[in-house]
Amino acid sequence: MDKAHSVSQASRVNLPELLSRVDNDRELLLDLLTVFKEEFPRLLQTLHRAVALQDMKQISMVSHTLKGMLLNMAIPRAATAAALLERLAQEETKTSVPEAFAAFEMEVQGLLPEMQTCMGEVSR
Amino acid sequence: LRILVADDERLSRRLLERTLERAGYEVMAVENGRLAFEQLNQPDGPRLALLDWVMPELDGPGVGRAVRRQQEQREQSYVYIVLLTSKESKEDIVTGLESGADDYLTKPFDVDELKARLRTGERILHLEGRLVEAREMMRFKATHDALTSIWNRGVIVDLLGRELARSQRESGCTIVLLGDVDHLKSVNDTHGHLVGDEVLKEIARRLLLSIRSYDFVGRYGGEEFLLVLNNCNPQSAIRGGACGGASEGCEQPANADRDWSRTSQHELRRALE
């Protein structure tokens, strides 16, 4: 089993943890999951472009935002990958950025469908 | 209490907004530091702020520095600032606090910790409110006569000096009226000092009503009042307009239910003309 597959198999969305963070406010959690679903693909695309252009300032900004979002949604592994990317961009370690970005992409692969499942559970 | 939330990340902003609304705050949410500063810089802007560190246009510490600078210059109300950050190193915390933030909280925040830290902020703001109130009261007491609440002697003489200097500079006319209440001693002896005090308070009130918003009236001595009337027309003033206005205001009898403090037309007219 390759690493990407093992990551996609792991359950990254911790619903009880998320519910406790919003004081069991399911309406708010649905709202947050919707925002995540809207914002995440857009930010990921922007990050992808910035990595291709080696735009370190943009990489730093976007990975910082992604890190915050992932932390708020209780997805710590992906948040750590975003944090590494942010740090490398700040340090202008251009050679390490593509590898860190690939690791980040792997961490977030299949995340949106998981969010969708989570939304279904929350609205039940 | 109103609170400003500034965070460029939509999800975080929404989470904070809803959490704080549930905690009873009136939340104002903005998406960058520049907008945050604009809101906090309003005279009636929020006094509690939760600022993300990394934001476009102006970051959280930048907002903190700008707010503190403005406060020093304009003597504005204190704004309690909490920085919300995913930075955790000691250096970052020191930098954040030295920028003017009062506290910091790391992301992802714990709801109970957030509320507790904001309550600390509320306590500080409440204390500041009481200190400002006390300072204003001291300021009032230092400049106003304790009995009549009009300017005290020190201030009215100072105002007179300034107005005369301005009048001279601008070749204008300032009228100075020094009025003395005759027979106050007899009022005090006959009716007691409390009634005498009421007479002085009533005269001060009427003098205040008889002058324009940009004139000044103060208690010069025990029963002496000094009026400084600015930008007057010398001709009409000499014909009695200014003195008449002030004295007529005091000539009217007091309210029927306060007849015991009736003032004497004769005495006041004599005093003010």
CB contacts, 8 Å: A73 with chain B = 11
| pLDDT, mean of residues B77-105 | 88
| pLDDT, mean of residues A44-68 | 95
State the amino acid at position B263 in one-letter form: T
Which residue does chain B place closest to A70, by CA atoms?
B108
Encode pLDDT of B152-172 as tens digits. Answer: 999 999 999 999 999 999 988
Does the CA dihedral B58-B63-B65-B67 come out positive or negative? positive
What is the pTM assigned to this prediction?
0.73
Out of A8-12, A72-76, B107-111, give the one with best mean pLDDT: A72-76
Residue B105 near residue B83, CB atoms below 8 Å: yes
Residue B220 near residue B228, CB atoms below 8 Å: no
Q: CA-based diameter of chain A, in Å? A: 46
State residue B71's pLDDT score. 86
Task: Round the average pLDDT of chain A to a whole number and report it.
Answer: 88
B14: nearest CB among A21, A23, A35: A35
Does the CA dihedral B49-B55-B61-B62 come out positive or negative? negative
Encode pLDDT of A100-117 as tens digits. Answer: 999 999 999 989 998 888
| pLDDT, mean of residues A59-72 | 93
Rounded to 5, what percent of chain B is helix, strand, coil? 55, 15, 30
Structure tokens belonging to residue B186 = 């007899």
CB contact under 8 A, B12 and A74: no
Which residue does chain B place closest to A83, by CA atoms?
B86
Percent of chain B with pLDDT over 70: 86
Task: Round the average pLDDT of chain B to a whole number and report it.
Answer: 86
State residue A5's pLDDT score. 42
CA angle, residues B12, B16, B21, in degrees to nearest 5 = 155
Which residue does chain B place closest to A24, by CA atoms?
B19
How many other β-carbons are positioned within 10 Å of the β-carbon of residue B55? 23
State residue B83's pLDDT score. 94
Instruction: Inform me whether the pLDDT recorded for B231 exceeds 50.
Output: yes
Q: B105 to chain A, minimum CA–CA distance in Å?
A: 13
Instruction: Inform me whether the pLDDT recorded for B13 exceeds 70.
Output: yes
Q: How many residues does chain B have?
A: 273
Instruction: Inform me whether the pLDDT recorded for B238 exceeds 60.
Output: no
Q: Which of A21, A27, A29 to mutate to test the interface with B (most CBs of B within 10 A)?
A: A21
Higher pLDDT, B221 or B244: B221
State residue A105's pLDDT score. 95
State residue B258's pLDDT score. 41
B113 touches chain A (CB under 8 A): no
Which residue does chain A place closest to B59, by CA atoms?
A61
Residue A76 near residue A107, CB atoms below 8 Å: no
CB contact under 8 A, B18 and A28: yes
Closest among B83, B15, B99 to A25, alpha carbons compared: B15
B86: nearest CB among A21, A71, A74: A71
State residue B248's pLDDT score. 58
CA angle, residues A46, A48, A71, in degrees to nearest 5 = 75
| pLDDT, mean of residues A55-59 | 95
Encode pLDDT of B181-230 as tens digits. Answer: 988 999 999 999 999 999 999 999 999 998 888 999 999 999 999 999 98
Confidence of residue B250 (pLDDT cuts 50, 70, 90): low
d(CA B158, CA A57): 60
State residue A4's pLDDT score. 41
